[in-house]
Each structure stands twice: as structure tokens, then as C-alpha cells.
Amino acid sequence: MIARLYSINELNRLQRLVTRSSWFMCLLTLPAVLCFVFFGKTILGLFGSDYAGGYTALVILSAGVLFSRTMGSVGLLLTMTHNERYAARIIGWLFLTNIALSFFLVPKFGTVGAASAATTYLILSNILLGVFVFRRTKIVPSIFGNPAIQ
């Protein structure tokens, strides 16, 4: 549907679709994130006492995923609007950034460092890809787009 609406230049309809789907994804993710934040220690404890120590990493990763959902399907939008090469380049560079962050953070902070590096990657990639989506298509991919555009 994204590719079809974009190809026939129905940008208002595409904006409505993208904003609504971003809200839908965000609202579906929110209960899981809240569950992990408020009951994460208990949930991890079900797998053994050694896992309960991963609570902080779980919360960090959950925050990154929730942020990612608020930004919408930026990668899909770029792919469906013939901008996949640009998306691949940005993701590639950010992947290298993730490796570098992991190299520095994991030895010092362990699982929290790994979660921080992964969350940084999620946030940066969604912001950069979101900006790129807007510049290339004039579509706001996040929940902050206006679904009532006429």
C-alpha cells in the first residue's frame, strides 16, 4: 500500500496511513514495555536467579524499542519509496557505530553496556532514517505526523 500510494502521488493518504500505523505499533508495544519496566525482575527471575541481574539492560532495550515504534517504519518507507540504497548506507554506518560503542561499553559495563550500545543504534538509526524519509518523501514517519491532512 505504501508503494502504491507513493507511486500515484497520494501523499496525504500515505501520511494518514503512516501516522496511524505508527500509533498502532506504538500502542501495541507500550503494554509490553510497561510490563518489562514494572515486572521485569519477576519475569527474568522465572528463568533463574542469574537472569534477574539483566533487569537494567531489559529496561534500556525496552526504551529503545518503544522509541523505535514511535518513529514508525522508517526502513520500510525508504524501501517502498525507492530509497533502499540510502537506507542501507545509513544502517551500515550506524552498524559500525554500534560495533564501536559495544567495543568500548561492553568490557566496562557488561550487559548494560551492550544494551546501551544497541539502544543508541536504535535511536540514532530511527532519527536519521526518519529525517531522510521526510527529506526524500515529505512524509513524517512518526506518531507526530498529522493523520488529518486533507
Distance CA 45, CA 16 (A): 42
Q: 33-87 pLDDT, tens per residue?
A: 999 999 999 999 999 888 988 999 999 999 999 999 999 999 899 999 998 898 8
Structural domain of 52: 2-137
Structural domain includes residue 22: yes
In a domain, 149, yes or no: no
pLDDT tens digits along 6-15: 999 999 999 9
Query: Looking at the 3D structure of the chain, how many domains does it have?
Result: 1
Domain-located, residue 150: no
Contact 69, 22 (CB under 8 A): yes
Is residue 74 situated within a structural domain?
A: yes
pTM greater than 0.75: yes
Is residue 145 situated within a structural domain? no
Residue 148 lies in a domain: no
72 Cβ neighbours under 8 A, 6+ residues apart: 18, 19, 21, 22, 25, 130, 141, 142, 143, 145
Residue 147 lies in a domain: no
